[in-house]
Structure 1
Amino acid sequence: MTSIFSSNLKRGVSLFALFLSISTGASFAQEAPTGEPDQPATDEAGGTLLDAIIITARKRLEFDLDIPVSTSVLPGESLPATTLDPGGDISRQSPNLNYADFARPSDRYGTLRSVGPLGSPLNSLDSTVGFAIDGVPTSAFGYGQPLFDVDRVEVLRGPQGTLFGRNALGGLINVVPRGADGEREFRIDTQIGSNGFGQAEAVAGGWLIPDSLAGRGALFYQTFDGDVPNGIIGGEEGGVDLKAGRGSLRFTPDATLTIDVTGSYSSDHRNNVVWLLKEHPDFPVSGSDITPVNNRDIGQGTVKITKDFDTLSLTSVTSYQDIRIRSADEFTDSYIFGRWLGVDPAAFVDPDDDVGSVKEREEIFSQEFRLNSAEGSDWDWVAGVSYFRSDFNTHRVMNSSMWPTSNGTTDNDVNSETFAVFADVTAPLGERFEISGGLRLAHDRQDFTGRFVSNGAAGIVPSLHQQNSFSDTYLTGRAALSYAWTDDIRSYVSVARGYSSGGFERTAQNSAYGTPAEPFRPATGWTYEIGTKAQLNDAISVSGAVFYNDVTDGQLTGFDNATAQVFFANQDYRSYGFELQASAELGHGFELSAGVGYTKSRLEGQPTPNLPIPVEGNRVPHAPEWTANLGLGYRKAGEDIGLSGDFYANASYQYVGARYPDVQNSVKMDAYHIVNAKIGWENERVGVNAFVNNLLDERPIYYATAYSSDVTAVIAGRGRVFGVGASLKW
């Protein structure tokens, strides 16, 4: 594998040399750079024009301008305060990030530049695009947690496993909450709106012991009645009842020691509708004969200890997470199956048939020790060791007269461990060039125990007990060469090796046929990237990157019509494209942000095992060719018009192109447009506002499957929500 990495590194350096030779003629005649900018640019009066963006992509605080990675850094204030779908709101400001929501809490994920699960995640660790809270990785079941009291969200494109561990083949989303830093803040924000929407957030922070012990706490509550009527049993579906809280302490007994302790808990209970008949004249309307249940409760505790020495610092990060999921829904929506089979929808109204309930629990423990070079060192480096353990259990009770495998009781345990060592270094090459690279050597082991007991349905075995295991040792890494045209303009070329672990599908769906579960193979990939980042005229920030992905053995779920069995296959695919992003202070109180992404994807060859229809040349699932976002903000000092406080307004627009839900490209999911807007007034103490989310009332289609030419079952997003809010600070 090392020889493969070396050959691909040479290929990447050759690309950079070509890019450099083309770009040199257009370079600016500026002095050589003297190092990182120490402060954001200011105007003559000393006011900030464009804040420098800080990021922790390489496990240390750096300016985003200096990172040879395509990134989107979303400040907390840019995220909609009234969000009902956190994962979707991150994607709205991140080109080439597509959000897929299968309505259930265990089936939400993102794809970056087409890289992601080829279908629904096979188990809790099959995320492909990693998700972390303040640098601590969580599983796919932790994706899309509520965004409250957030400092920033970092979206890192391309393989990030070198520093963030397993299953970051496509990239990483890192949510960084506000921590205890001693800053005094006390505030309450409230909103009420349509369809029973309500939200409240309370924050308190400051010094508990001056210059020694700081604390911060945040509470969050959200409710929504739902916006999809149920035509069978009445009521509304799509409702939310969310309660969450976070507390943090920072102890600094001296200038060299920092201890951060953080605890959080969220209880996110929803009744999301799973399947809707797209062709229904009153779409969206649910034909379910039970009220769906989609509940997720997450508790997390983290202790981070940092000790500074003269030439380096030592950091220990210990984390425990407890994720519990409960869901219940039916398999035969009355409107979908009534239309498909040409019978009265009432024929499928039976709350005891074609239903399933699932209880899942995952406990995660992780420990990382790392050494970082001292601030200001000529060589910037980090090295460490890490341990990750996930203990997962699923308990499923299924009853169906339509689907043989959806019967009986299943209890499965999937226990996973990963040991790893890693290092990353950045070194100057003269005044303008900088080289960086990192490696991670890891060992995975996953043990599977499955127990199935039939409910007496015809065509399935009475019971099945099975055990199996999977293990793998692998090397990932990345290398980059960057060039500073000026202090404020940098270009880079990089090559990265990514990995997504193999293992076992959590439900072992073919147990009912007496077929033991076999491990699916790991996916690997190479990503090549060329990019430029610049901060221009003290008021404009721009970045762009082109990329090429080469993924081998991407993991997908398949269905064999001949045997009515689910199977799990591996599929190669390729993609290439670009991102362009810009933000600007336009003057006179106006701010602008914009981004556009393009991804061209293609499936290569047939999956192993083979599908009954050809898929070579098809597009990768959930990979839109075009994504775009645009944001405009305005702030006006009230004193300019003889009033107190500040008036503000902002609006955002997102475009997501057409996508396909599966490797067969069986159904085309239409492009969609999301527009959010907010207007308000505030002073140092109080504020009022009015907002609207999804102004156009356009429901995204996240998944679709066609039963016939005129029967399409879809999973759809929310419609329009509008309301008013008020805030108080003291």
Structure 2
Amino acid sequence: MYAEETSSAIPEIIVTADFRGADARSIGGSISVISTEAIERREALHIEDVLNIAPNVNFSAGASRGRFIQIRGIGERSQFKDPLDSSVALIVDGVDLSGIGLAGGLMDVQQVEIMRGPQGTRFGASALAGAINIRSNRPTGVFEGAISAGVGDYGKQNFGLVLSGPLVNNQWLGRVAFQSNASDGYIDNDFLGKDNTNNIDEKLARVSLRWLASDDVTVDLSAYLVDADNGYNAFSYYNTRDIPTDDPGQDRQETLSVSADVLWQGFSAFDVKVNIFGESSDLDYGFDWDWGNLAELGYRGGENNARDRESTGIDIRLLSADDATLLGASWVFGLYWYDREVSLDSTSGDNFSGYGTFSSQTDTERRALYGELEWSLSERLNLIVGGRWEHYQLDYFDNAAVVADPSDDLWGGKIVLEYQLQENVLVYMSANRGYKGGGVNGQAIAKVLNDPSTDADIAEFLTTRAAFDSEALLNYEAGIKGWYLDSALSLSASAFYMDRKGMQAKASVLFPPAEWRDYVDNVDNGKNAGIEFEAQWQLLPELIVFANIGFLDTELGTLIVDDLDSENALNQDGRSQAHAPEYQFNVGAAFSFMNDFSLTVEVDGKDTFYFSNSHNQQSDSYELIHASLNYSHDNYRVSLWGRNLGNEDYQTRGFYFANTPPNYASNEAYYQLGEPRVYGITASYTF
């Protein structure tokens, strides 16, 4: 969100996720754009490393990385056996990779665009809370390349290579990029004598082609490969980084995505854009239940969830030319088709009761029509009206004979009024409606069907909740964006209020004596409201200061946890939603000196937040200090960097149950700790 500039003007930033590429300052909505410079200064290799920059954006781990994202308090926090539809869209070069967060690598990335609030017209059911669009660098018309390498503590190593340029008669342009990331992680396993049971081992590759077929037709082809073989060994009895497990888990992902984007400008009245994409992923996520070892406990238990995922989609869009209007408005109309198939094979159990298997198949279909009209009501006043109708169909079955096929006709849209208060100041008001499809509580129902001794009241309670309904979100927002002092100062502020209709909330029910099963239910009266502020000021040609601040107030609806037990039921009505801190901030400064040097110091801060709807355990508030010292000369760049320089312990995921030996007598809070102090050096050469 800040750029490395030596002039006094902050450059415009084009948002590519919008229907038409536009300067972020001219769009009536809350959008943060994280630049290449910001990514490099934090030595960010994955989106988890930059999410704290944006106001009111949080994440949860419970995995090798923080790959579950929340925007304005809305978003999933985990996935185990049940199917998941993400509330936050993850789009990588036009491919919908929502729900598989290890695909969020930052190799050869031009920018990361974070759109806060429902994107009902643009992305539909994938973006109830918002969307993250990762845009890689495009092929170039001249030959260029880059090579980079870095090392750091905890066994950190990374290497990258990029080549780009013309291929055939300047009609074909190509770009290839490769990156490997490795780290031992931050966990010591004394039982196994290893320090890499929570390691990072990731390889990413991308091939991009651009075909300039004619003066009117441009075709962009892309293939993206993610091969992550990460460890997952993060929780301990005493909330430390010393874990004596004998069976560490894993968090693996192999994803291949392909896309073709066609732009046809051969018509006088409109342009045609076609996006065709597909993705194939193998996901393997497993963990040790007991966090100990058989020799110490006499017990061993664990869970492994292996998924195969295939998806395909096509988006066909017509965009009006500059002088072609409908009812006096510029326009966009489109058709969208998306299919996804996910198969699960899960094994779980322990050495006392044995191991069991659970398998399921989930097929999702989405068909949509959408459109948007924009009127210039006056020289300064614009009105934008957008809408999307989507048919959602989910077909589910599993080996416990649970069969469900929830479907719905969903709609979303927006009304935005933009007023150019001055040439350099935009104010806007908007009403947006987003939506998310329903789903299935397969795991909880399977427990009922597989265990004939299940209490009749529990069986009835869960059977009536085999499927849950869709959710709708109404977002009302007002904001102002301006750039001052010859564009040296950029300011934006917004206030929003969200009304969640049929909020999908995760809760739990107790199978006596001590087994909890999660399920999702629809509850009423969920509320989210807040204020967001972003500023960047080039005080001097050598000095930029920046601040990104979010305030958030949320309420759970009428949610009661374990509401079969009237005496011990936990009434959460009115409590804050999970992973929704009341404040977040990112502030800092970047200073250039001696022609070739620059120093950046920034601080991320976050308030306490609840880990779950099902209990009231909270994280600690924290402030993390990051810094980088950079030397750039000609084509060389060297960076000394550090994150969390104060070595502060902070939590990225939390649970609450009885898991401490030898008696397992009472519920306790268990935390996954975030990244400790890390530092390293990175060098790159461009040519």
Aligned to 1:479: 415
The residue type equivalent to 2:241 in the other structure is P
More divergent stretch after superposition (122-131 vs 585-594): 122-131
1:361 aligns with 308
2:111 is the counterpart of 1:152 = yes
> Is contact 1:122-1:504 (8 Å) kept?
no
Which of 139, 144, 148 aligns to 2:98? It is 139
CA contact (8 A) 1:569 1:607 kept: no
Would you say 1:513 and 2:462 are equivalent positions?
no
The answer as to whether partners of 2:187 and 2:198 remain within 8 angstroms in 1 is: yes
Worse-superposed segment, 69-78 or 501-510: 501-510
Q: In 2, Cα distance between the equivalents of 1:104 and 1:222?
A: 13
Q: Give the Cα separation in 2 of the matches to 1:618 and 1:156.
A: 26
How far apart are 1:662 and its partner, in Å?
1.4
Candidates 429, 432, 451, aligned match of 2:380: 432
Could you say what secondary structure the match of 1:92 adopts? helix
> What is the CA deviation profile of residues 408-445 of structure 1, one whole-angstrom value per residue up to 9, with x for unaligned ones?
11111000100000001211111111100110001011
Quote how far apart the aligned CAs of 1:347 are.
4.1
- The two structures have a TM-score, normalised by structure 1, of 0.84
Aligned to 1:256: 216
Structure 1 residues 64 and 311: CA distance shift in structure 2, 3 A: same
SS at match of 1:449: strand
Q: 1:622-654: CA deviations, max 9, x gaps?
A: 00000000132122353xxxxxxx112212221
Partner of 1:592: helix, strand, or coil? strand
Q: What letter matches 1:364 in structure 2?
A: S
Residue 661 of structure 1 aligns to a residue whose secondary structure is coil
Q: How large is the Cα RMSD of the aligned pairs?
A: 2.5
| Contact 2:234–2:241 (8 Å) recurs in 1 | no
C-alpha separation in 1, matches of 2:543 and 2:306: 49
Q: How does 1:45-124 map to 2 (within 5 A)?
A: 49-80=9-40, 83=43, 86-103=46-63, 108-117=67-76, 120=79
Of the three residues 565, 578, 581, the one matched with 2:534 is 581
Amino acid at match of 2:520: F
Matches within 5 A, 1:119-130: 120=79, 125-130=84-89
Which whole-Å CA distance do the structure 2 matches of 1:80 and 1:346 have between them?
A: 46
Letter in 1 for 2:434: G
Amino acid at match of 1:441: W
CA deviation digits over 1:584-628, x for unaligned, max 9?
Answer: 212141112211000011112235984722111111000000000
Task: State yes or no: 1:316 paired with 2:274.
Answer: yes
Structure 2 residue matching 1:146: 3-state secondary structure: coil
- Contact 2:81 2:305 survives alignment (8 Å): no
The number of aligned residues is 651
**Partners in 1 of 2:78 and 2:225 — Cα distance?**
29
Normalised to the residue count of structure 2, the TM-score between the two structures is: 0.89
How far apart are 1:706 and its partner, in Å?
A: 3.1
Go from structure 1 to structure 2 and tell me whether the alpha carbon gap of 1:622 and 1:420 turns closer, same or farther (over 3 Å shift): same
Query: Matched residues in 1 for 2:516 and 2:657: separation?
Result: 17
Give unpaired runs (5+ residues) of structure 1.
1-42, 336-344, 452-463, 639-645
Aligned partner letter, 1:590: L
Deviation at 1:690, TM superposition (A): 1.3
Task: Work out whether residues 87 and 144 of structure 1, in 8 Å CA contact, stay in contact via their aligned partners in 2.
Answer: no
Match of 1:548 in 2: 497
Aligned residue among 377, 398, 408 for 1:450? 398
Partner of 1:591: 544
> Which of 482, 486, 495 does residue 534 from structure 1 map onto?
482
CA distance in 2, matches of 1:604, 1:382: 37
Paired letter, 2:321: A
Tell me the residue number matched to 2:616.
Answer: 666
Q: Is the 8 A contact 1:119 1:556 kept in 2?
A: no
Partner of 1:192: 151
Deviations 1:517-561 (A, max 9, x none): 822211111110000011111201110000001112222332222
Corresponding residue of 2:330: 380
The percentage of aligned residue pairs carrying the same residue is 23
Structure 2 CA distance for partners of 1:54 and 1:377, relative to 1, 3 Å: farther
Moved more, 373-382 or 69-78: 373-382
SS of corresponding position for 1:618: coil
Residue 266 of structure 1 is matched in structure 2 by 226
CA distance in 1, matches of 2:556, 2:257: 38
Cα distance in structure 1, aligned partners of 2:505 and 2:281: 24
Distance 1:183 1:173, change over 3 A: farther
> Is 1:631–1:652's contact at 8 Å kept on the other side of the alignment?
yes
8 Å Cα contact 1:328-1:358 kept in structure 2:
yes
State the distance in 1 between where 2:167 and 2:200 align. 35
Amino acid paired to 1:238: N
Corresponding residue number in structure 1 for 2:673: 716
Are the equivalent residues in 2 in contact too, given 1:594–1:630 (CA < 8 A)?
yes
- Residue 246, structure 1, aligned to residue 206, structure 2: yes
- Give yes or no for contact 2:590–2:598 (8 Å, CA) kept in 1: yes
Q: Distance in 2 between matches of 1:711 and 1:231?
A: 23
Matched, 1:693 2:643: yes
Q: 1:117 to 1:47 in 2, by over 3 A?
A: closer
Structure 1 682/134 Cα, relative in aligned 2: closer, same or farther at 3 Å? same
Write the deviation string for residues 21-65 of structure 1: whole angstroms up to 9, x where unpaired. Answer: xxxxxxxxxxxxxxxxxxxxxx9xx95621011113432111112
Q: Is the 8 A contact 2:146 2:685 kept in 1?
A: yes
Matched, 1:489 2:425: yes
CA shift, 1:177, in A, is: 0.8
1:47–1:701 CA distance, 2 compared to 1 (3 A): closer
Which residue, 589, 614, 618 being the options, matches 1:632? 589
What's the secondary structure of 1:696's corresponding residue?
A: coil
1:569 aligns with 2:521: yes
C-alpha displacement of 1:316: 0.9
The question of whether the paired residues in 2 share the 8 Å contact of 1:95 and 1:595 is answered with yes
Structure 1 position 576, deviation (Å): 1.0
| Post-superposition offset of 1:172 | 0.8
Note if contact 1:119-1:621 (Cα within 8 Å) is conserved in structure 2.
Answer: no
Q: Does 1:330 align with 2:268?
A: no
Q: Tell me which stretches of 4 or more aligned residues in structure 1 moved more than 6 Å.
A: 514-517
CA distance in 1, matches of 2:305, 2:443: 10
SS at match of 2:419: strand
Are the equivalent residues in 2 in contact too, given 1:231–1:286 (CA < 8 A)? yes
Equivalent of 1:623 in 572, 580, 595:
580
Amino acid at match of 2:417: L
Change (3 A) 1:477 1:588: closer
Quick check: 119-128 or 434-443, which moved more? 119-128
Contact 1:333–1:348, Cα closer than 8 Å, also in 2: no
Deviations 1:372-410 (A, max 9, x none): 1224767332110000111001101112268x7x94111
Describe the superposition over 1:340-382 as per-residue Cα deviations: whole angstroms up to 9, x where unpaired: xxxxx954255xx312222111111011100012247673321
CA distance in 1, matches of 2:62, 2:215: 48
Superposition pairs of residues 282-431 of structure 1, within 5 angstroms: 283-308=240-265, 309-334=267-292, 346-348=295-297, 350=299, 353-375=300-322, 379-400=329-350, 407-431=355-379
- Which string of whole-angstrom CA distances, capped at 9 and with x for unpartnered residues, describes residues 151-187 of structure 1? 1111111110211121311111111111114253211
Compared CA separation, residues 181 and 84, structure 1 to 2 (3 A): closer
- Superposed displacement of residue 513, structure 1: 3.0
Residues 437 and 477 in structure 1, CA contact (< 8 A), matched pair in contact too: yes
Secondary structure of the 2:100 match is helix
Q: Does the CA contact (< 8 Å) of 1:248 and 1:263 recur in 2?
A: yes
Q: Among residues 126, 130, 137, which one is paired with 1:167 in the alignment?
A: 126
Residues 594, 694 of structure 1: alpha-carbon distance in 2 compared, 3 angstrom cutoff: same
* Unaligned residue ranges in structure 2 (runs of 5+): 453-458, 659-665
| Partner-residue secondary structure (3-state), 1:619 | coil
For residues 442-499 of structure 1, give each alpha carbon's deviation from its aligned partner in whole angstroms, at most 9, with x where no partner exists: 1011111201xxxxxxxxxxxx333321111111111111110112100000001111
One-letter code aligned to 2:95: V
Native 8 Å contact 1:118 1:557 kept in 2: no
Match of 1:556, as an amino acid?
Answer: A
CA distance in 2, matches of 1:578, 1:662: 23
